[in-house]
Structure 1
């Protein structure tokens, strides 16, 4: 059960465990608003 989100030209693969690609790390921070 993986959620694939298309942001700009980046393919974000978020697993149930919370595995996120390093390229999406900065983008996830923007969502949360915390660094």
Structure 2
């Protein structure tokens, strides 16, 4: 149970970091 929660949490962290990365790329493209 605890391991599953950790897996889900790490997946959420990964998705958030990917989303932030693409948003920063998008902003860089807009401001360039």
TM-score (normalised: structure 2): 0.32
Structure in which a larger fraction of residues adopt strand: 1
Kindly indicate whether structure 1 or structure 2 has the higher relative contact order, using CA contacts under 8 Å at least 6 residues apart: 1
Structure in which a larger fraction of residues adopt helix: 2
* Higher CA-based Rg: 2
TM-score (normalised: structure 1): 0.30
